[in-house]
Amino acid sequence: MNQMPLYLACATLLCACSQEAQNPETPSKAELPPVAINAEVEISRAKSAIGIFAAALQTELKKAMQEGGPTRAISVCNTEAIPITQSVASEQGLELSRVSLRNRNPANAPNDWQKPVLESFERRKAAGEDPAALSWFEVAEVNGQHQFRFMKAIPTAPLCLQCHGSAIAPEISARLDELYPQDKATGFEAGDIRGAFVVIQ
């Protein structure tokens, strides 16, 4: 399994500002046709979309960091992450988002099926698994069709602690308070799970 560098994963979570995932309704199995989803192919598509999104957002954040440091990067993430997410999702023909148990943006709160996955990632990490290798998928029944769901954990790298750690600079804290008054995404340590990418196909 190819893993993104930790700094790249962190950059995508510098500020959580992606779309809120849908809350599906599950019909009875009798309504569904036979499963026609190739999990290996869909996992590959999901990982590819995550990589494209992460690279695109990293480019914008790197430019912002060079222009004005972390406070500028926070502002860019606030305005650019959603358009980048939507663009990649549209190009790849899938749904793409990020969620966290301790979200920065309320739109990144996990729904009823995402929360247990995030909790399972925490248990797996506590049992000794590498956070960078944690992933999950399922084929769910939604509105009379099969839906492929994929989630990949995002570890906290040291660089993330500038905006997500316990000792945040006053100017960064002030900017976060301004843009994200309901922020829950501080107090992390390196190696903690910041959240997860979500891909729905």
Residue 32 forms part of a structural domain = no
Model confidence pLDDT, tens digit, residues 134-158? 999 999 999 889 999 999 999 998 8
Q: Is 131 among the domain residues?
A: yes
Q: Which of these ranges, 9-23, 54-68, 79-93, 108-122, has the smallest mean pLDDT?
A: 9-23
Torsion of CA 46, 9, 95, 142, to 10 degrees: 70
pLDDT above 70 covers what percent of the chain?
82
Q: How many CB atoms lie within 10 A of CB 136?
A: 17
Residue 24 lies inside a defined structural domain of this protein: no
- At residue 140, the pLDDT reads 94
> Do the beta carbons of residue 193 and residue 121 sit within 8 Å?
yes
29 in a domain, yes or no?
no
pLDDT beyond 90 at 159? no
Q: Is 23 part of a structural domain of the chain?
A: no
Confirm whether 137 is domain-assigned: yes
3 pLDDT higher than 70: no
pLDDT tens across 31-80, in order? 555 566 789 999 999 999 999 998 998 899 889 989 989 999 898 888 89
* Average of per-residue pLDDT values in the chain: 85
Domain carrying residue 56 = 6-18+38-200
Residue 12 confidence (pLDDT) above 50: no
Residue with tokens 């922020």: 183
Which residue, among 172, 198, 196, has the nearest Cα to 186 in the 3D structure? 172
Would you place residue 14 in the very low, low, confident or very high pLDDT band (cuts 50, 70, 90)? very low
Compute the chain's Rg from CA coordinates: 17
The answer to the question of residue 123 being in a domain is: yes
Structural domain count of the chain: 1
Higher pLDDT, 31 or 104: 104
Write down the pTM of the prediction.
0.81
Torsion of CA 182, 200, 197, 15, to 10 degrees: -40
Query: Which tokens in the block code for residue 82?
Result: 């959603």
Residue 1 covered by a domain:
no
Of 28-37, 103-112, 161-170, give the lowest mean pLDDT range: 28-37
Cβ atoms of 196 and 117 within 8 Å: the answer is: yes
